[in-house]
Amino acid sequence: MKLSLGFSPCPNDTFIFDALVNNKIDTEGLEFNVYLEDVETLNKWALEGKLDITKLSFPAFFRSMENYLLLNTGSALGKGVGPLLISDSPNEFSTEDINQSSIALPGLHTTANLLFSFAYPDAIDKTFILFSEIENALINKETDLGVIIHENRFTYQQKGLHKIKDLGEYWEEKWNRLFHWEELLSTNP
């Protein structure tokens, strides 16, 4: 049986799917037509039910649950690796400054947009561009701020860019405060 399989070309995805798509494990007769696309393209395709198997962001998954099942492995969520809100300026930014800025994000249906919107619900000047172009958009003054994901969160400083907020850290902090998550984890191993 041949199935369509979509994932992004980011390093964690290519590592996760390497053994499967390069016949390093027994797939018991399953074959794959592989589609390498950016995460927002995969999200849009998931909303259309285009692929049999796909990587997608959590917001897109929740909107496409009639077409997909969430596997219990392979998630890229983790502490200390969430999206970052960055700028080309080392200056401090108030919430009002951010709300009035133009912001480049890696896609409408991405977890990055969800977390940014959670932190800044009144920011409305959003532009959705390919995740790998956000740093250049800042450097070229095409946008005031950007939300970066994947390996860019570890290399942005090499381009003279500056972190404003770690959106994953912010989510974890607010989530813990709202739902006492750490307390629940410590009492329910």
d(Cα 99, Cα 97) in Å, to the nearest integer? Answer: 6
* 187 token code pair: 């009492």
* 33 token code pair: 């037509």
| Catalytic residue chosen out of the listed positions 109, 150, 162, 180 | 150
Active-site annotation holds for 162: no
Backbone CA torsion sign across 138, 144, 149, 152: positive
Active-site residues, by number, are 150
